[in-house]
Structure 1
Amino acid sequence: MPYQQIDELPDSVKDHLPKHAQEIFRAAFNNAETEYDDEESAFRVAWSAVKRDYEKGEDGQWHKKPNN
Structure 2
Amino acid sequence: MTYKQISDLPQEIRDQLPEHCQQIFCAAFNAAQSDGLSEEGARDVAWNSVRNEYEQGKDGKWHRKAEDSAIHHKAITTGGN
Give the structure-2-normalised TM-score.
0.80
Question: Is 1:16 matched up with 2:16?
Answer: yes
What one-letter code is carried by the residue in structure 2 that aligns with 1:61? K
Q: Which amino acid letter does the alignment assign opposite residue 23 of structure 1?
A: Q
Q: Which amino acid aligns with 2:57?
A: G
Task: State TM-score, norm by structure 1.
Answer: 0.94
Distance in 2 (alpha carbons) for counterparts of 1:43 and 1:29:
6
* Cα distance in 2, alignment partners of residues 5 and 59 from structure 1: 27
Give aligned pairs, total: 68
- Structure 2: give runs of 5+ residues left out of the alignment: 69-81
Partner of 2:67: 67
Q: Of Structure 1 and Structure 2, which has the larger fraction of its residues in helix?
A: 1
Asked if 1:34 is matched to 2:39, the reply is: no
Cα shift at 1:34: 1.2
Structure with higher Rg: it is: 2
Structure 1 spans left out of the alignment, 5+ residues: none
Q: d(CA) in 2 for partners of 1:64 and 1:10?
A: 22
| Residues 6-61 of structure 1 deviation map (CA, whole Å, 9 limit, x = unaligned) | 00101121001010000000000000011124100000000000000000000000
Structure scoring higher RCO (CA < 8 A, sep ≥ 6) equals 1
Question: Which residue identity lines up with residue 67 of structure 1 in the other structure?
Answer: E
CA distance in structure 1 between the aligned counterparts of 2:40 and 2:9, rounded to whole angstroms:
14
